């Protein structure tokens, strides 16, 4: 009898094994498409940095900058620069991004320190994204760094790069970092039907920059590269979502703006959802408060409203920023893990909404 | 003898445990070079997809192209799968295009929507199979074929299977033809939402929760009207509803052949509407949907949700919550079921209101009192089972009299 049982177990075990998963073969190339028309093949050919490329030491005409609240990109660190053709100026704009002169290049380098607790030490740069203003139209390009960190090559169709680091808590993390395709660049950077920068608005730039030790807008004005800047006290300022001296609402709205509102705005790609998450949005319904979803599918998580005041765990918005399921998560691209600090902040904000209603 | 027994028994056992599973497939990986081709494509190009199975891990995106054809070798010979998707919600995403044709391939198992087309002028989806291959499950993505915010949309000879929302869907679009497609195992087989100048004909929708839906919902960028639904075969749409709560299709009762919600200028004729157990064709207002949601909210003890739904659509001045200029005529109804599905409030209501005889045509009777000129009319055979719920007046005017809705008045 025991023999029978053993035999049945063996057969069932064999049957377990026989349910083999689908196989995916190694990557192969179709007859290639020519990408040389998109831009120069290497980052070094722009001459944006002097000395060793990996030191990201800006050349003349290349200015470092920071923003108040940055998009979450799987905890990647970012070093930002603006290149402007010599003798040209940016112009102040109250609500939108600054007015940049033709030939401007916005430069964003994505990197991971080996140990987040020592960010100035060893690091690996993964990609450099450029937004180039040519004849009044912004062109996005992506350069992927080699392992040796000596050069970055033009890439239009994205790449997955394995990356690991020691997190703030001392634990080791590893992810598949996703370099975007050119289409995905547009997915976020589309405003109406044109590609546009997202970050460098006066509201975002209005801050004391660590590298220069003073307000960078004022500094640029003094340097003669920023025109029309009014009294700095009258310039609007977006909260830094991680600035704990600010109130939760301003911080949460700033986080939602930079992480969501590039699509969730009146002229953004997610306009069909009716959910508008710019920090200026004042009305309850567009902001998602008591708003039923339109085409959320399983993204609703069986919850009824985008935001239920006081009830983060009944709010679709929270469900989606807490998820890493590609069919559920928001934003749809640009992250593979949860921004823990952001989720805590938005949760706190939704909890507090009940009292103010 | 004994060893023979073991041999035979082993074969039977192994056979029985593997047979329900689909055979494992071998997938090639051309993801990076195909995405490069789509980005680098010149206007006017034809991109030929080879025969075989191909696995993708992120959305395949084509943006801002004109006059492009993407052509496979057939819906069972060229298979694109997103079973291993780690990034992006869609399988294929086409945006800001002009005159794009996608044909003769299959799209499978994306996390969100299998094939989405947005902001495109001129899109043809032809002989595309779009499927979630593990059958109808709530885990499946929302839409199989999903053109939205587009014009000149043609979907023909496609096959949609397993959507947790709608299989063949068009939303916020105009000038749309949906013809000769097949849809099964979806919550909604075919759905036109907030779209205008739409023709839906020659399709077969079966084994969905609802067969064909024409909906107009509040709070969107544009509203629909003028739809013709004819020569479709809408049968046996009795599948349980596996949509996610909060989505509008979650309120469709299993066993709904057609549902016309809050739209106007719509002709339903010459269709075969067979064996949909709850209702053949329902014509309802958004008020009824809101009221149903209201009950749900109260029982959940949650925030006054339905109130919000109400406030929502009532504050949308461009939205009309009442169906009108709906003509239902010359269809062929039959229903061998005696009981409606009891999985929904509407179903339970039908059981009490039309005992042992689920209606061929149901009208919720909720209309805009200020616009008596806005009518619906029904002209069917004498055997038609009709119900006017008069839901706006607590069913006081409940009636089975179809004569007052005659189109000949």
Nearest to residue A207, comparing CAs of A60, A68, A356? A68
Mutate to test the interface with A, among B24, B39, B147 (most CBs of A within 10 A): B39
Size (chain A), residues: 357
B4: which 2 tokens?
Answer: 């023979």
Which candidate from B88, B138, B171 shows the least CB-CB separation from A333?
A: B88
Residues 283..322 of B with a Cβ closer than 8 Å to A: which?
Answer: 293, 297, 302-303, 305, 308-309, 311-312, 315
- Is B63 in contact with A156 (Cβ distance < 8 A)? no
% of chain A beyond a pLDDT of 70 = 92
pLDDT recorded at residue B21: 60
* Residue B34 contacts A, CB cutoff 8 Å: yes
pLDDT of residue B346: 72
Query: What residue of A is the nearest CA neighbor of B31?
Result: A27
Of A184, A298, A303, the CB nearest to B138: A298
pLDDT at A26 over 90: no
Nearest to A292 among B85, B172, B312 (CB): B312
Closest CA in chain B for residue A305: B246
Dump pLDDT digits (tens) for A56-84: 999 999 999 999 999 999 999 999 999 99
Looking up tokens 């009014």 gives A230
Nearest CA in chain A to B120: A193
| Residue in B113, B244, B304 to test binding to A, most A beta-carbons within 10 Å | B244
From chain B, the residues in CB contact with A336 under 8 A are: 86-87
DSSP string, A325-349: -TTT-SSSSS-SS--HHHHHHHHHH
- Residues in A closer than 8 angstroms to B113, CB to CB, are 297
Identify the helix (H) or strand (E) that includes residue A191: strand A190-191
The Cα B159–Cα B108 span in angstroms is 11
End-to-end CA distance of chain A: 70
Work out the minimum CA distance from B54 to partner chain A, whole angstroms. 8
Q: Where are the beta strands (DSSP E) in B114-202?
A: 115-118, 121-131, 145-148, 151-156, 159-161, 166-171, 174-179, 182-184, 188-193, 196-201
Mean local confidence (pLDDT), A151-170: 95
- pLDDT the model gives residue B349: 74
C-alpha–C-alpha distance, residues A79 and A209, integer Å = 12
- Whether residue A24 and residue B40 make contact (CB cut-off 8 A), yes or no, is no
Token couple for A56: 């990201």
Residue pLDDT tens, chain B, 409 long = 445 555 555 555 444 444 446 789 999 999 999 999 999 999 999 999 999 999 999 899 999 999 999 999 999 999 999 999 988 889 999 999 999 999 999 999 999 999 999 999 999 999 999 999 999 999 999 999 999 999 999 999 999 999 999 999 999 999 999 999 999 999 999 999 999 999 999 999 999 999 999 999 887 778 999 999 999 999 999 999 998 877 788 889 999 999 999 999 999 999 999 999 999 999 999 988 887 766 544 333 222 222 334 446 777 788 899 999 999 999 999 998 888 877 777 777 777 777 677 899 999 999 888 888 888 999 999 889 999 988 888 888 889 999 999 988 6
| B221:A271 CB<8 A | yes
**Residues 6 or more apart in contact with residue B6 via CB below 8 angstroms:** A7
CA angle A153, A331, A71 (to 5 degrees): 65
Q: For chain B, positions 340-359, list CB contacts with chain A under 8 A.
A: none
Is B40 in the A-facing interface, judged by CB distances under 8 Å? Answer: yes
Q: How far is CA A37 from CA A33, A96, A156, A336, B229, in A?
A: 10, 31, 11, 31, 47
Interface test with B, best of A10, A11, A15, A33 (most B CBs within 10 A): A33
Q: Say whether A5 sits in a helix, a strand or coil.
A: helix
What burial letters (b/e) apply to B302-341, b meaning 16+ CB within 10 Å?
A: bbebbebbbebbeebeebbbbbbbbbbeebebebebeebb
> Sorting pLDDT into bands at 50, 70 and 90, what band is A15?
very low
**Nearest Cα residue in chain B from A177:** B87
Which of B15, B20, B32, B114 is the best residue to mutate to test the A interface, defined by the most A CB atoms within 10 Å of its own CB? Answer: B32
Q: Tokens for B400?
A: 């089975």
CA distance readout (Å), A143 to A81, A146, A159: 15, 10, 10
Q: Any idea what the Cα angle at residue B254 is, between residues B253 and B259, rounded to 5°?
A: 60
A vs B: CB pairs below 8 A: 217
- pLDDT surpasses 50 at A18: no
Q: Give B299→chain A minimum CA distance, Å.
A: 13
Answer whether A156 sits within 8 Å of B39, measured CB to CB.
Answer: yes
Q: Where are the domains of chain A?
A: 39-234, 248-356
Q: Nearest CB to A157: which of B36, B305, B309? A: B36
Contact A23 B25 (CB under 8 A): yes
State residue B66's pLDDT score. Answer: 98
A338 close to A322: Cβ distance less than 8 angstroms? yes
A283 or B301, which is more confident:
A283
pLDDT at res. B23:
84
- Residues of A within 8 A of B315 (CB-CB) are 285
Contacts of A183 in chain B (CB under 8 A): 38-39, 61-63, 93, 95
Interface test with B, best of A159, A295, A334 (most B CBs within 10 A): A295
Contact flag A294-B219 (C-beta cutoff 8 Å): yes
Among candidates B6, B14, B247 on the partner chain, residue whose Cβ is nearest the Cβ of A297: B247
Tens of pLDDT along A230-267?
999 999 999 999 999 999 999 999 999 999 999 998 88
> Beta strands of B49-144 (E only): which ranges?
52-55, 58-63, 66-71, 78-81, 87-95, 98-108, 115-118, 121-131
| Contact (CB, 8 A) for B364 and B306 | no
C-beta separation of B71 from B47 below 8 A:
yes
Question: Are A90 and A220 contacting, i.e. CB atoms less than 8 angstroms apart?
Answer: yes
CB contact under 8 A, B33 and A309: no
Kindly state whether B36 is in contact with chain A, defined as any CB-CB distance less than 8 angstroms: yes
Q: What is the pTM of this model?
A: 0.80
Chain A residue with minimal CA distance to B164?
A297
Give the residue from chain B lying closest to A309, CA to CA.
B303
ipTM over 0.90: no
Would the CB atoms of B118 and A30 count as touching at under 8 Å? no
B 233-262 near A (Cβ less than 8 A): 244-247
């Amino acid at each position: 009898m025991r023999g029978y049982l053993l035999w049945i177990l063996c057969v069932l075990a064999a049957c377990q094994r026989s349910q083999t998963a689908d196989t995916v073969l190694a990557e192969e190339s179709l007859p290639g498409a020519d990408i040389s028309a998109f831009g120069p093949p290497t980052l070094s050919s722009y001459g944006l940095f002097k000395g060793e490329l990996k030191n990201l030491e800006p050349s003349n005409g290349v200015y470092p900058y920071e923003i108040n609240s940055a998009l979450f990109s799987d905890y990647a660190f970012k070093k930002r620069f603006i290149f402007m053709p010599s003798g040209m100026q940016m112009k102040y704009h109250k609500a939108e991004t600054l007015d940049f002169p033709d030939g401007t290049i916005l430069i964003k380098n994505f990197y991971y320190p080996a140990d987040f607790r020592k960010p100035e030490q060893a690091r690996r740069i993964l990609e450099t994204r450029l937004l180039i203003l040519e004849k009044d139209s912004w062109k996005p390009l992506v350069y992927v760094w080699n392992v040796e960190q000596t050069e970055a090559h033009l890439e239009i169709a994205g790449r997955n790069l394995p990356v690991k680091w020691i997190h703030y808590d001392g634990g080791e993390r590893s992810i598949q970092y996703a370099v975007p395709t050119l289409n995905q660049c547009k997915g976020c950077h589309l405003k109406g039907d044109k590609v546009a920068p997202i970050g460098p608005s006066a509201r975002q730039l209005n801050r004391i920059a660590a590298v220069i030790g003073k307000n960078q807008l004022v500094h640029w004005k003094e340097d003669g590269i920023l025109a029309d800047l009014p009294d700095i006290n009258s310039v609007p300022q977006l909260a830094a979502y991680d600035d704990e001296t600010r109130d939760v609402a301003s911080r949460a709205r700033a986080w939602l703006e930079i992480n969501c509102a590039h699509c969730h705005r009146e002229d953004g790609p997610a306009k069909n959802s009716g959910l508008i998450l710019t920090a200026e949005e004042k009305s309850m319904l567009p902001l998602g408060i008591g708003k039923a979803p339109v085409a959320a599918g399983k993204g609703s998580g069986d919850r009824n409203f985008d935001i239920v005041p006081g009830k983060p765990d009944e709010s679709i918005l929270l469900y989606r920023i807490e998820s890493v399921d590609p069919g559920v998560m928001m934003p749809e691209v640009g992250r593979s893990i949860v921004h823990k600090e952001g989720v805590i902040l938005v949760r706190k904000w939704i909890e507090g909404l009940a009292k103010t209603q | 003898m004994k060893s023979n027994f073991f041999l035979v028994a082993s074969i039977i056992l192994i056979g029985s445990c593997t047979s329900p599973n689909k055979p494992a497939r071998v997938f090639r990986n051309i993801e990076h070079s195909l995405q490069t081709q789509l980005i680098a494509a010149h206007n006017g190009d034809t991109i030929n997809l080879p025969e075989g199975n191909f696995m993708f891990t992120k959305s395949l995106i084509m943006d801002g192209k004109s006059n492009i054809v993407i052509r496979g070798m057939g819906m069972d010979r060229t298979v694109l799968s997103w079973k291993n998707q780690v990034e992006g919600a869609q399988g294929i995403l086409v945006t800001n295009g002009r005159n794009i044709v996608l044909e003769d391939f299959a799209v499978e198992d994306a996390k969100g929507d299998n094939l989405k087309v947005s902001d495109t002028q001129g899109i043809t989806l032809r002989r595309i199979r779009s499927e979630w291959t593990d059958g109808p499950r709530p885990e499946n993505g929302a839409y199989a074929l999903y053109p939205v915010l587009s014009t000149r949309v043609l979907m023909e000879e496609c096959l949609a299977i397993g959507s947790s929302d709608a299989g063949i869907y068009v939303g916020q679009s105009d000038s749309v033809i949906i013809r000769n497609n097949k849809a099964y195992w979806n919550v909604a087989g075919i759905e036109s939402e907030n779209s205008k100048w739409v023709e839906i004909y020659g399709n077969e929708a079966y084994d969905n929760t609802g067969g064909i839906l024409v909906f107009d919902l509040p709070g969107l960028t544009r509203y629909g009207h003028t739809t013709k639904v004819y020569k479709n075969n809408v049968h046996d749409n009795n599948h349980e509803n596996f949509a996610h709560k909060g989505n509008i299709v979650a309120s469709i009762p299993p066993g709904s052949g057609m549902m016309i919600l809050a739209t106007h200028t719509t002709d339903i004729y010459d269709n075969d509407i067979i064996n949909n157990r709850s209702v053949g064709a329902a014509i309802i207002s958004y008020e009824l949907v809101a009221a149903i949601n209201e009950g749900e909210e109260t029982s959940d003890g949650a925030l006054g949700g339905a109130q919000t739904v109400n406030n929502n659509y009532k504050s949308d001045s461009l939205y009309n919550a009442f169906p009108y200029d709906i003509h239902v005529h010359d269809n062929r109804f039959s229903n061998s079921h005696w009981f409606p599905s009891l999985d929904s409030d509407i179903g339970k209501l039908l059981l009490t209101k039309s005992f042992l005889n689920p209606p061929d045509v149901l009208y919720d009777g909720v209309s805009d009192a200020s616009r008596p000129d806005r009518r619906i009319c029904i002209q069917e055979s004498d055997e038609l089972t009709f119900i006017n719920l008069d839901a706006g007046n607590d069913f006081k005017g409940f009636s089975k009299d179809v004569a007052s809705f005659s189109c000949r008045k």
